[in-house]
Amino acid sequence: DAGVIQSPRHEVTEMGQEVTLRCKPISGHDYLFWYRQTMMRGLELLIYFNNNVPIDDSGMPEDRFSAKMPNASFSTLKIQPSEPRDSAVYFCASKRGATDTQYFGPGTRLTVL
Amino acid sequence: QQQVKQSPQSLIVQKGGISIINCAYENTAFDYFPWYQQFPGKGPALLIAIRPDVSEKKEGRFTISFNKSAKQFSLHIMDSQPGDSATYFCAAKRGSARQLTFGSGTQLTVLP
């Protein structure tokens, strides 16, 4: 299995621009999680989906952040407009059913200038 | 009550030494306690996990010790190697919840 795939791996953008991060979960996994990692706040859960439906988005920091999962094999996290404080590494993770292990992607390092 | 507090923030150990990372929690509903290992430029990956019905779990050089009454659990890395240098996260999950609550992470450096 290819594992969780994220793109792009690195993104540099200017303040005010729209940023879209992409994730392909492991085939057969029905849960998908978006995390943000920073030195100050560690690993924060932003939102998670079950069977393509958002279940808990309480970690989404602001209305500038939105996430979608149009099908079982694709999810996006969008930031519009982006701000320098959004600079972080964003991880996508997936898991199957009632199992506990989450499988993380390699992350997208976002830098907002 | 959802927090998991992890210490130390960073740890430097000589090759062959024992690395110990500690975590404490408040929510007594937590019933699954994994440790994730993250190498630079990679996503976290499950290393070892424990449930409260046992006090210790060992996998190779890695051991989780669990103290239910103190609401603490720790990761011990025996015979630490430079290849163990990574960031380690403890986490916890309660019952039927699907999400994990992560600690703040410990950056481990094992000197050759």
pLDDT digits (tens, 9 = 90+) for A87-109: 999 999 999 988 889 999 999 99
B33/chain A closest Cα distance in angstroms: 10
Q: Please give the Cα distance from A23 to A32 (Å, whole number).
A: 9
Give the pLDDT score at B2.
58
Q: Do B44 and A43 touch (CB under 8 A)?
A: yes
Strand partners, A111: A12
Sort out which chain A residues have CB atoms less than 8 A from B45's CB and list them. Answer: 103-104
Q: How many CB pairs under 8 A join A and B?
A: 45
Token pair, residue B37, equals 């290992």
Give the pLDDT score at B94.
87
Q: Do B99 and A33 touch (CB under 8 A)?
A: yes
> Helix and strand tally (H, E) in chain B?
0, 11
| One-letter identity of residue B27 | N
Average pLDDT of the segment spanning A43-70: 94
Collect all residues with Cβ–Cβ distance below 8 Å to B46 and sequence separation of at least 6: A101, A102, B34, B35, B36
Sort out which chain A residues have CB atoms less than 8 A from B105's CB and list them. Answer: 42-43
Reply yes or no: is the peptide bond before residue B52 cis, omega within 30 of 0: no
Give the pLDDT score at B22.
98
How does strand B56-59 pair with strand B45-50? unpaired
Closest residue in A to B105 (Cα–Cα): A42
Mean pLDDT over the full length of chain B: 94
